[in-house]
Amino acid sequence: MGDAYVIGHITVKDPEKWARYREGVPATLEPWGAELVLRGELASVLSGSHRHTDTVVIRFPDMDAVNGWFRSDAYQALIPLRSEAAEVDLLGFQG
């Protein structure tokens, strides 16, 4: 099995809270060997439809690391802030 990825589709509701959330995330990723691959704004919808304005892609060594990160106390502590700051759909993919 190859790398695993978390892709987040995001629509920010509160920029100040979103900035605080984003500041907290990197420390939660470190123990899981994760790397931020992309953080960007939607430039165009080439086919179909998409309701979010932003996307993040994070690479992990495997799905065990994805699940460990998501369930970790450190990340779980950020979820209430994330919920106030933005609408977020998080998806896990195996490479």
Is this structure's pTM higher than 0.75? Answer: yes
Say how far apart CA 8 and CA 21 lie, in whole Å.
14
What pLDDT was estimated at residue 1?
66
Residue 88 Cα distances to 6, 31, 33, 93, angstroms:
12, 23, 22, 16
Domain with 73, as residue range(s), is: 4-94
Q: Output the tens digit of pLDDT for each of the chain's 95 residues.
A: 689 999 999 999 999 999 999 999 999 999 999 999 999 999 999 999 999 999 999 999 999 999 999 999 999 999 999 999 999 999 999 98
* CATH number of the domain where residue 75 is located: 3.30.70.100
Q: How far is CA 36 from the centre of its chain?
A: 9
What pLDDT was estimated at residue 32?
98
Q: Given phi > 0 = left and psi -120 to 50 = alpha, else beta, which region is 86? A: beta
If one counts the domains in the chain, the total is 1
Longest Cα–Cα distance in the chain: 38
